[in-house]
Structure 1
Amino acid sequence: MTALVLPPVPFLVLIVVGARLILPRRGLGYLVLLLGVLGIWFSNCQVTALALQDHVLKPPGPLQGAELARLEAAGKAYAQQVAQLRRAGRGGAVAPSVAVMALGAGREPLAPEYGVSDLTHFSAERLRYAIWLGHRTGLPVGFSGGVGWAQQGDVGASEAETAARVAQQFYGVPLRWTETRSADTRQNALLTVTMLGEQQVQEVVVVTDAFHMPRAMRVFNEAARHEAALHPDRPVLKVTPAPTHYWRREGGLDWLPSVGGATNVRVALKEALAQLTGV
């Protein structure tokens, strides 16, 4: 559906329709043609992506101030529990009250330069920020991502398995959780919330791109309520947003078509469409 309704398809249709209307209705034909050309221009500009981000998607602000301090306190409490367990000589892992979870955004089944699967730049940025948050707060980190619907027939490790290898090899950080079966954001939420609920985790800090965060928060809160309804003895999992990769203004260049602008407009419109349809 998105391939048909996202740019440049609608504006190419306008150009064709406008060209056809020029002979019978010259003024209307040129107007439709102009709208198609302008549509193609602005659908490739960063200024359009910024407008969609700020006024349509409206992602929450970055995780800072009191919220970040609260998570740092939770991380210190978790570290104290781990230290007490070690001093007592007791084995086993301490169940944290808060989990930092990055959401997958695609993977390359086989990256030729590495000879193994690799994360897309979206997934890699989310993983990096989640690891940074883990370092900053002292909270354990996980990753949610299986194989997307478009890659169901591909071989190679899942996103979460790939992320675990990248986290260990490049950052020296072992991931506490790896959810490997989800194919989209809704499954990210359902499977992650179930997994964390079984381990008595009380709060999940969701790490994803700012443009993706509104939808992620909606489906994670829905999943948390659903899990609480299935298990009335458990509290409703608290969902805290930790967005990354906000789009920023770059001056006059924002009004010129660019590869980055085209990409950002497409993903913003896709998210807006998902919000509209409730996907």
Structure 2
Amino acid sequence: MSPQVLSHLLLGSLLLPPLNLLLMMLFGLGLRRRWPRLGGLLLALGMAGLYALSTPMLAMWLNRGLEVYPALDAGQLARVDAIVVLSGGKKPAPEYGGMEPGADSLARLRYGARLARQSGKPLLLSGGAPQGGEAEAAVMARVLRQDYGLSPRWVETRSDTTLENARYAAAMLRADGVERIALVSQGWHLRRALPMFQRQGLEVSAAPTGFIRYDGGGIAWYLPSGRAMQESHSALREWLGILFYRLKGE
């Protein structure tokens, strides 16, 4: 694991739920004897935060400002030269005998395969190995061939971050004269990712997938769930990433 990736993981753990709220609650417990009101307030805020972030309603609200691009339409797809699919993690899969794409990667890969079949446009898969081992794009390429019967034209395996996805993928595309792409990732990721590809001189159409939506409504959207907590965490991490790159001027 590179020092850059490790620092991002550590900083994210400290600044994002659930650890930041758990630390707040522990701090509140420590203050209760000397400053009972302050300690009680911190405990209450921590518990309220954990509850709110685990509700579908807040998960959808946090992602609403990130999912700024609508679904790709047929006209946009017809104008691009290639389809770029960004990786979103991998995981050990004993039942398959090796590494497989994580949930985010698999959702992106499925949608990228659908677009490729609809348009006949070539695919570029982008993603390195931020935590070591096999590159995520290589894992995705194997699954693309085995499960979808498609082969990517390009496989970019050096990138550890979204910014590096953009830089390395753009260099491969430019070498083949490609200037217009459809960029596939989760809707919440494209607000940050798409401008990075544009700054590499590419004309980019957003191809979002995995919109944060829940069936039903009413009281069900206020009941806590592990899925909602995960999606709230992803949204907050993305907002933190946007702030980080703005401060860096990238």
Range into which the TM-score falls when normalised by the shorter chain: 0.7 to 0.9
Q: Tell me which residue corresponds to 1:163.
A: 140
Q: Tell me which residue corresponds to 1:245.
A: 210
Q: Check whether the contact 1:8–1:43 (CA below 8 A) recurs between aligned residues.
A: no
Deviations 1:225-278 (A, max 9, x none): xxxxxxxxxxxx201110000011342222222111111111111100001111
Compared with structure 1, are the counterparts of its residues 159 and 10 closer, same or farther at alpha carbon in structure 2 (3 Å cutoff)? closer
Q: Tell me which residue corresponds to 2:234.
A: 267
Compared with structure 1, are the counterparts of its residues 27 and 218 closer, same or farther at alpha carbon in structure 2 (3 Å cutoff)? same
Q: How far apart are the structure 1 equivalents of 2:104 and 2:76?
A: 27
Q: Aligned match of 2:128 in 146, 153, 159?
A: 146
Q: Tell me which residue corresponds to 1:211.
A: 188
Q: Please say if 1:115 is aligned against 2:97.
A: yes
Q: Check whether the contact 1:179–1:191 (CA below 8 A) recurs between aligned residues.
A: yes
Residue ranges of structure 1 left out of the alignment (5+ in a row): 75-96, 225-236
Deviations 1:166-185 (A, max 9, x none): 11111111111111111121
Q: Check whether the contact 2:77–2:182 (CA below 8 A) recurs between aligned residues.
A: no
Q: How far apart are the structure 1 equivalents of 2:143 and 2:42?
A: 49
Percent of aligned pairs sharing the same letter: 34
Larger Rg: 1
Name the count of aligned residue pairs.
Answer: 234
Q: Please say if 1:106 is aligned against 2:89.
A: yes
Q: Tell me which residue corresponds to 1:181.
A: 158
Structure 2: which amino acid aligns with 1:160? A
Q: How far apart are the structure 2 equivalents of 1:269 and 1:37?
A: 18
Q: How does 1:45-60 map to 2 (within 5 A)?
A: 45-55=55-65, 57-60=66-69
Q: Check whether the contact 2:84–2:126 (CA below 8 A) recurs between aligned residues.
A: yes
Q: Tell me which residue corresponds to 1:36.
A: 46
Deviations 1:102-127 (A, max 9, x none): 0011123x421111321111111101
Q: Check whether the contact 1:14–1:33 (CA below 8 A) recurs between aligned residues.
A: yes
Deviates more, 1:26-35 or 1:184-193: 26-35
Q: How far apart are the structure 1 equivalents of 2:34 and 2:67?
A: 43
Residue ranges of structure 2 left out of the alignment (5+ in a row): 1-10
Q: Tell me which residue corresponds to 2:21.
A: 11
Q: How far apart are the structure 2 equivalents of 1:12 and 1:119?
A: 30
What's the secondary structure of 2:174's corresponding residue?
Answer: helix
Q: CA deviation at 1:58?
A: 4.0
